[in-house]
């Protein structure tokens, strides 16, 4: 929908899962919301594996039945494979949490993201695609809107008492405010492509997310999708992947296939499809979650290494929370940074929980098998993290046990403290 209105209750920059969820739920409450998106949906995006607790935001959006009826493969577990092909006991979600959410999905993000954006439109949000936000508008050190540019209108300005930056890793607002802080250790590179008719495991494991180890704590992801396709990617240190022998992406990928027997077997009769894609999977957290008139959501708040597929879950969670917080702010006419302090606190806690597990994963001395041997209660706590059940849970015993096996990071407060004029 093209619009020439100049004032809204809220402006959302970015139509990914965080932005579209925020917009859909705010519009459902009767709020006048504009979504500004630089691309035209559907558009390609990597990150196809959902965590089980995505169920609850999707239920709130009224989209669970749509996914239930879809052709998306069901994901019942995550499994880990050694370099020699030995497969560990899968983490079956339903064995730990007896709830419909224990079955989740592997999705094409082009379809999944458009589904949520369509829900925002259906609920009454206005959407401007092929429109790029390029400046925050401020008055008395308070954000009051954005300047944007589109093919239809050229440069124009829009005002709202609250702007949501859900621009993903573009971090539209955070870069302009100089808030971005890189994680000191998580500096991997991802190289990925797609395969047709790759091998799938039988039964419940057919739709499993598989993490297959490589030397030096690199790893493959293996994510079965619909239409007989599989997403397969490598995450590793740049110096390991680009070790001087070649810069050709296909050659590097094929070299690493031979470094894991399980991956080698599963791709033996498959046909590689499409291009090889690469990106720096550099983890970061923005210093603040909000300033007066501005709040960050999803990857625009922070990005965490993708090994446990937490990105979409954290995006959906932030969108649900923000819709409720912004509705309260509109009622109170209070758009100060401090009004989003509890939101920042909860998001910081969730990100820190997942960050500790990611650090353990990459520690040369750590293995999930060794952790599980210390007690079933630790395996249960770890499974809580893997499914996204991170609210109202006390993981002190889990992290104490992990710290005996790995160097866990010091907690950082980025994204918690709010900036205020």
| Chain Cα centroid distance, residue 356 | 16
Number of helices (H) and strands (E) in the chain: give both, helices first: 14, 19
Q: Is the peptide bond before 42 cis (omega within 30 degrees of 0)?
A: yes
pLDDT reported for residue 245: 80
Pairing of strands 91-92, 77-81: antiparallel
215 and 154 assigned to the same domain: no
Express each pLDDT in 212-230 by its tens digit. 999 888 999 999 999 999 9
Report the C-alpha dihedral over residues 305, 110, 15, 115, rounded to 10 degrees. Answer: -120
| Chain Cα centroid distance, residue 236 | 18
pLDDT reported for residue 420: 57
Question: Of all residues in the chain, what percent carry a pLDDT higher than 70?
Answer: 98
pLDDT reported for residue 395: 94
92 and 133 assigned to the same domain: no
- For residue 258, pLDDT over 70 is answered with yes
Give me the helices (H) in 108-237, please. 109-122, 172-177
393 and 277 assigned to the same domain: no
In this structure, is the dihedral angle defined by the CA atoms of residues 45, 47, 52 and 53, taken in order, positive or negative? negative
215 and 82 assigned to the same domain: yes
Three-point CA angle 76, 234, 202, nearest 5° = 30
62 and 113 assigned to the same domain: yes
9 and 129 assigned to the same domain: yes
Express each pLDDT in 119-143 by its tens digit. 999 999 999 999 999 999 999 999 9
Instruction: Judge if pTM exceeds 0.85.
Output: yes
pLDDT reported for residue 1: 43
pLDDT reported for residue 199: 97
Q: What integer best gives the mean pLDDT of the chain?
A: 94
**Lowest-confidence region among 42-46, 184-188, 209-213:** 184-188
273 and 392 assigned to the same domain: no
Question: How buried is residue 392: exposed, middle or buried, by Cβ count under 10 Å (0-12/13-18/19+)?
Answer: exposed
> Among residues 262, 283, 304, which one ends one of the domains?
283
Closest CA to 409 of 345, 344, 348, 352: 352
Name the pLDDT band for 338 (thresholds 50, 70, 90). Answer: very high
pLDDT reported for residue 324: 98
Strand ranges (DSSP E) for 151-203?
A: 154-159, 163-165, 180-196
> Among residues 254, 283, 312, which one ends one of the domains?
283
- For residue 235, pLDDT over 60 is answered with yes
- Kindly state the average pLDDT of the residues 311-317: 97
Locate tokens 């983890």: which residue? Answer: 283
List the CATH number of the domain containing 197. Answer: 3.30.9.100
Which strands, in side-by-side order, build the sheet including 126-128?
126-128, 33-36, 10-13, 163-165, 294-296, 290-291
246 and 355 assigned to the same domain: no
Rounded CA separation 281/314 (Å): 16
93 and 235 assigned to the same domain: yes
List the CATH number of the domain containing 389. Answer: 3.50.50.60
DSSP state at residue 94:
H
**Domain total in the chain:** 2
209 and 294 assigned to the same domain: no
In this structure, is the dihedral angle defined by the CA atoms of residues 319, 322, 323 and 324, taken in order, positive or negative? positive
Name the pLDDT band for 243 (thresholds 50, 70, 90). Answer: confident
- 153/170: higher pLDDT: 170
**Containing structural domain, residue 66:** 1-73+98-183+284-421
Q: What pairs with residue 106 in β-bridges?
A: 49
Express each pLDDT in 75-134 by its tens digit. 999 999 999 999 988 999 999 999 999 999 999 999 999 999 999 999 999 999 999 999
297 and 256 assigned to the same domain: no
Closest CA to 20 of 87, 104, 118: 118
> Among residues 283, 298, 328, which one ends one of the domains?
283
65 and 209 assigned to the same domain: no
DSSP of 326-359: HHHHHHHT---GGGGHHHHHHHHHHHHHHHHHHH
């Amino acid at each position: 929908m093209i619009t020439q209105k100049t004032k809204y209750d809220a402006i959302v920059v970015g139509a990914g899962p965080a932005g579209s969820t925020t917009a859909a739920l705010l519009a459902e409450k009767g709020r006048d919301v504009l979504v500004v998106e630089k691309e035209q949906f559907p558009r390609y995006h990597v990150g196809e594996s959902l965590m089980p607790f995505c169920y609850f935001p999707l239920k709130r959006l009224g989209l669970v039945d749509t996914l239930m009826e879809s052709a998306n493969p069901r994901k019942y577990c995550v499994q880990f494979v050694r370099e020699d092909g030995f497969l560990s006991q899968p983490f079956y979600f339903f064995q730990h949490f007896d709830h419909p959410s224990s079955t989740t999905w592997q999705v094409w993000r082009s379809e999944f993201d458009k589904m949520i954006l369509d829900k925002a439109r259906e609920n009454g949000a206005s959407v401007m695609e092929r429109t790029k936000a390029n400046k925050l508008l401020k008055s008395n050190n308070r954000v009051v809107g954005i300047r944007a540019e589109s093919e239809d209108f050229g440069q124009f300005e829009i005002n709202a008492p609250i702007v949501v930056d859900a621009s993903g890793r573009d971090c539209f607002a955070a870069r302009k405010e100089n808030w971005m802080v890189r994680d000191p250790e998580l500096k991997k590179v991802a190289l990925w492509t797609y395969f047709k008719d790759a091998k799938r495991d039988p039964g419940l494991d057919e739709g499993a997310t598989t993490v297959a180890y490589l030397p030096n704590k690199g790893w493959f992801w293996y994510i079965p999708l619909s239409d007989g396709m599989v997403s397969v990617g490598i995450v590793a240190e740049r110096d390991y992947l680009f070790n001087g022998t070649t810069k050709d992406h296909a050659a590097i990928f094929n070299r690493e296939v031979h470094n894991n027997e399980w991956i080698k077997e599963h791709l033996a009769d498959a046909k590689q499809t499409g291009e090889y894609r690469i990106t720096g999977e550099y983890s970061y957290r923005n210093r603040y979650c909000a300033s007066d008139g501005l709040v960050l959501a999803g990857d625009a708040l922070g990005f965490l290494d993708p090994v446990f597929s937490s990105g979409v879950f954290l995006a959906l969670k932030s969108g649900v929370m923000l819709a409720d917080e912004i509705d309260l702010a509109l009622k109170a006419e209070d758009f100060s940074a401090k009004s989003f302090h509890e939101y920042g606190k909860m998001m910081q806690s969730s990100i820190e929980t997942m960050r500790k597990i990611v650090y353990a994963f990459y520690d040369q001395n750590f293995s999930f098998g060794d952790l599980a041997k210390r007690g079933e209660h630790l395996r249960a706590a770890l499974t809580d993290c893997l499914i996204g059940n991170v609210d109202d849970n006390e993981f002190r015993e889990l992290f104490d046990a992990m710290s005996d096996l790995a160097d866990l990071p010091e907690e950082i407060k980025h994204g918690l403290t709010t900036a205020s004029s």
